[in-house]
Amino acid sequence: MNELPKMKNQTAKIFCGLLLALSAICANAQDAAEDAAPATVLPTTYEAMVAALPEASYDDKELLLQKISQSGNPQAPNLLHALLDGRLMATEAGKVYISQSSDEALAAKNLSDAITGAAVTGVNAESISPIGTNNRLRKGLRALCAQLDLASADADARSKAVQSIMRDLDEAGTAALRARLPLEKESSIQKSISSALALADLQSADANIRLAAVETLSGDISSEVYNGLTTLITKNDDGSFTEPDLRVRTAAAEGIRKIETRRKAYGALETLFFGLSLGSVLVLAAIGLAITFGVMGVINMAHGELIMLGAYTTYVMQLLMPQHIALSLFLSVPAAFLVSGLVGVGIERGIVRFLHGRPLETLLATFGLSLVLQQLVRSVFSPLNRSVASPEFMSGSLVINDAFSVTYNRLYIVFFMLIVFAALQLILKRTSLGLKVRAVSQNRAMARAMGVRTEWIDAATFGLGSGIAGVAGVALSQLTNVGPNLGQAYIIDSFMVVVFGGVGSLWGTLISGMSLGVVNKLLEPWAGAVMAKILVLVFLIVFIQKRPRGLFPQKGRSVEN
């Protein structure tokens, strides 16, 4: 790495200050820094090492951390974990604290002293900042943490530590595992330690040990095992096998075959989930349109912008309550429904109403409106994307096994879509508003003759569809950028889903969104993301030729005219 010479100099100066060394030593050290790394002046006591951390260069931090991990101080594991998670805070004056949260707004609330472990209160949030780490340091830290965690009282932490050591198996890690195995009481952890050790044994010089290792590893589908076994059966450049023993090779080949079969099955499951989750995003975006376009027959090109307004509502809600990200997200759902719904009612009363029965003009007017809304957002919120934070429960993934895991945000959005869909069905099928909406959409004149105020029903329907679009925006804010162009990305897809599903059918929208999602994801690995999209569009064009009314066409007299 090309270290900048200036940095070395600075570190040397800072170290001198920290050590409170005599001025003579300081001068010497600084001279030394011109040609050698300043590592020679690292402190030795735990307190001094911790105090030196905030200002140390990355190279020195690595050395310091190694010493800290070997110090045996009871606070050391805590400190290393805190640094890894960005929770180790330092003040300008060089005091070091461990915080419970890496979130800047909350960091000052639960502090403890990094040296004594005692709780600390009354520290100004402005005065502390996290101690920086870089990739190399984090990698080293992870290994150190894992080795320390092997002795942790918490079985979960021990199990994670074994996994982490197994991923980057080196001699230090193997030695730590070997030392731990006889002490370990938990059988599941014993098992994973044995498989990690078996993985190391694959390099053993004794063919019998290698064979035993291959047998121990059978049934494990992690990629480390797969790679370990694959190296056993690969040929060298001269055609000879790297593994001389035939028995080991046969066993390894059998193990690989097993892993591949299971992986294929999990791969299919994964693709299916990806498809369903893409599908649920499509359904969310399209279902509002299924009401305005499907039920009312209005081509609303500003639908995407109503989604965008919902996403911006989430952003504003988060600005209003920065301390409660999860709560603000839940409150955003009704708020976004109201904002987009009201804008929708405004659009209906102000524009669409006057263009009744003139689809081309409606299309142009709402398209113009979509540009107006975009530029409006650009002027109010700036053209830059806004950052919407995800609450803790929305990040990370549910790991089912090494070959199959499901990301939480996608999983929740699938459920969220189902809830929205069910609620909408309830409104349309079980409420008096729903009854009137269906009546008006089937036969406007007859409904009016029965005393339904069609004008208000139109406005309410449009508002409902628009509100649902806003709710979709809340979900999308967790997946993608919140910016002025958010809506444009979804408008085409939304129309596609509604037309494919059959205009006017909510169930059709659900089925078509889900199947388009799955088809897209099936095609993607095989044809690439761009080609997959094109193929889906081509398929749709052909399909619409054959069945112009979509998957679930509306039946009855009203359709005929």
Partner 1 sequence: MKAIPMIRRALLSAAAAGLLAASSLAQAADTIKVGVLHSLSGTMAISETTLKDTVLMMIDEQNKKGGLLGKKLEAVVVDPASNWPLFAEKARELLAKNKVDVVFGCWTSVSRKSVLPVFEELNGLLFYPVQYEGEESSKNVFYTGAAPNQQAIPAVDYLMKDLKVKRWVLAGTDYVYPRTTNKILEAYLKSKGVKAEDIMINYTPFGQSDWQSIVSDIKKFGSAGKKTAVVSTINGDANVPFYKELGNQKISAEDIPVVAFSVGEEELAGIDTKPLQGHLAAWNYFQSIKSPANKVAIDNWHKFIKNDKRTFNDPMEATYIGFNLWVKAVEKAKTTDVSKVSDAIIGLETPNLTGGVAKVLPNHHITKPVYIGEIKDDGQFDIVWKTKAEVPGDAWSDFLPGSKDLVADWVTLKCGNYNTKTKKCSGQNF
Instruction: Point out which residues pair with 97 in neighbouring strands.
Output: 89, 113
Q: How far is the CB of 361 from partner 1 (least distance, A)?
A: 24
8 Å CB contact between 161 and 149: yes
- 383 touches partner 1 by CB under 8 A: yes
- In the bound state with partner 1, the residue whose beta carbon lies nearer, of 141 and 464, is 141
Q: Segment 123-142, which members bind partner 1 (CB under 8 A)?
A: 130, 132, 134-135, 138-139, 142
Interaction between residue 529 and partner 1 (CB under 8 A): yes
Q: Residue 125 is encoded by which pair of tokens?
A: 């949030």
For partner 1, the binding residues in 236-295 under the rule CB under 8 A are 270-271, 274, 277-278, 281
- Based on the shown chain and the rule CB under 8 A, indicate whether residue 116 belongs to the binding site for partner 1: no
Is residue 386 at the binding interface for partner 1, with CB under 8 A as the rule? yes
Nearer to partner 1, 161 or 503 (CB): 161
φ/ψ of 114, rounded to 5, equals -70, -20
Report, in Å, the least distance between residue 23 CB and partner 1: 27
As a whole number of angstroms, the distance between CA 18 and CA 15 comes to 5
DSSP state, residue 88: E
First vs last C-alpha separation in the chain: 74
Q: Return the residue of 489, 519, 535, 544 that touches partner 1, per CB under 8 A.
A: 489
Could you give the C-alpha distances from 122 to 101, 117, 119, in angstroms and in order?
Answer: 16, 16, 10
Tokens of residue 40, six digits: 């020679």
Q: Is there binding between residue 405 and partner 1 (CB under 8 A)?
A: yes
Please calculate the CA angle 534-310-352 and round it to the nearest 5 degrees.
Answer: 80
Closest separation between CB of residue 227 and partner 1, Å? 4
The half-sphere exposure of 310 on its side-chain side, counting CA atoms within 13 A, is 35
Which one-letter DSSP state was computed for residue 100?
A: S
- Taking the least distance from each CB to partner 1, the nearer of 102 and 554 is 102
- Taking the complex as a whole, the smallest distance from the CB of residue 464 to partner 1 amounts, in Å, to 26
Determine if 112 is a binding residue for partner 1 (CB under 8 A).
Answer: no
Q: What single-letter DSSP state applies at residue 293? A: I
- At position 395, the amino acid (one-letter code) is S
The closest alpha carbon to 552, from 518, 515, 507, belongs to 507
Choose which of 218, 481, 515, 554 interacts with partner 1 (CB under 8 A).
481
Q: From the list 13, 109, 378, 444, which residue makes contact with partner 1 (rule: CB under 8 A)?
A: 378
Single residue of 38, 54, 77, 86 touching partner 1 by CB under 8 A: 86
Subset of residues 38 to 67 that bind partner 1, contact rule: CB under 8 A? none
Q: Note whether 385 binds partner 1 by CB under 8 A.
A: yes
Q: Which stretch binds partner 1 (CB under 8 A): 340-348, 443-451, 458-466, 478-486?
A: 478-486
CA–CA separation, 85 and 11 (whole Å): 24
Structure tokens at 34: 């011109």
Which residue intervals of 168-220 are DSSP H helices?
171-180, 187-201, 207-217
Which tokens is 342 given?
A: 């009201």
Quote the tokens at residue 23: 């001025």
419 phi, psi to nearest 5 deg: -65, -45
Q: In angstroms, give the least distance from the CB of 79 to partner 1.
A: 18
Under the binding rule (CB under 8 A), the answer on residue 344 touching partner 1 is: no
Which strand (E) or helix (H) includes residue 404? Answer: strand 404-407
- Do 64 and 52 form a contact (C-beta atoms < 8 A)? yes
Q: Does 353 bind partner 1 (CB under 8 A)?
A: no
CB of 546 to partner 1, least distance (A): 27
Number of residues that bind partner 1 (CB under 8 A): 59
CA atoms within 13 A on the CB side of 529: 1
Given the rule CB under 8 A, which of 158-166, 224-232, 432-440, 466-474 is the region that contacts partner 1? 224-232
The answer to whether the CB of 404 falls within 8 A of the CB of 262 is no
- Restricting to residues 300-319, name those near partner 1 by CB under 8 A: none
Sequence-distant (6+) residues with CB within 8 A of 377 are: 308, 309, 312, 484
Q: Does 203 engage in binding with partner 1 (CB under 8 A)?
A: no
Residue 296 or 389: which CB sits closer to partner 1? 389
Nearer to partner 1, 230 or 454 (CB): 230
Q: What residues make contact with partner 1 under the rule CB under 8 A?
A: 1-2, 4, 6, 86, 102, 130, 132, 134-135, 138-139, 142, 223-224, 226-227, 230-231, 270-271, 274, 277-278, 281, 375, 378, 383-390, 395-397, 399, 405, 407-410, 476, 479-481, 483, 485, 488-489, 521, 524-525, 528-530, 533
